[in-house]
Amino acid sequence: MRIGIRQTALRIALATGVVAGVTGLALAHHSFAAFNTETQKVITGTVKKVNWTNPHTWIWIDVPNEKGGTETWGVEGMSPNYLARRGWTRETIKPGDKLSITVYPMKDGQAGGMFLSAKRPDGEVLSMRGGTPEP
């Protein structure tokens, strides 16, 4: 009888460890730690490249700077699957598009951020959450 109790206890301990490990990985993967979620920044420029890849999409946009040059910003978005369920396709944003993108900027000041919404020159607003974007 003792062997059965020990085996059951071992199985419970292993299952608890697996659940805790997977939960930790999931939380780390979806961390917003790199972004300043207390402020928003609008960047305006021309889309250079779009990575429609898992686990997150990326928009690379050339933004004019004060020195008369451009800075390429990396803007992280949601997964292709998430976006597809909200009507996005690989062609929703493409190289050459002019956009004003609202982001949570990087905390360390690097040229990057997390996508919140984008506005085209014709006024069309794109949101990764679907529907009307947050103000």
The verdict on 1 and 47 lying in the same domain is: no
pLDDT tens digits for 101-133? 999 999 999 999 999 999 999 999 999 776 444
Residue 17 lies in a domain: yes
Q: Are residues 119 and 58 in the same domain?
A: yes
- Quick check: 24 pLDDT over 80? no
Question: Is residue 118 domain-shared with residue 53, that is, in the same domain?
Answer: yes
- Residue 56 burial (C-beta neighbours within 10 Å; 0-12, 13-18, 19+): middle
Structurally, how many domains does the chain consist of? Answer: 2
Residues 72 and 17 both lie in one domain: no
53 and 115 in one domain? yes
Q: Look up the pTM and report it.
A: 0.74
Range of the domain at 57: 41-127
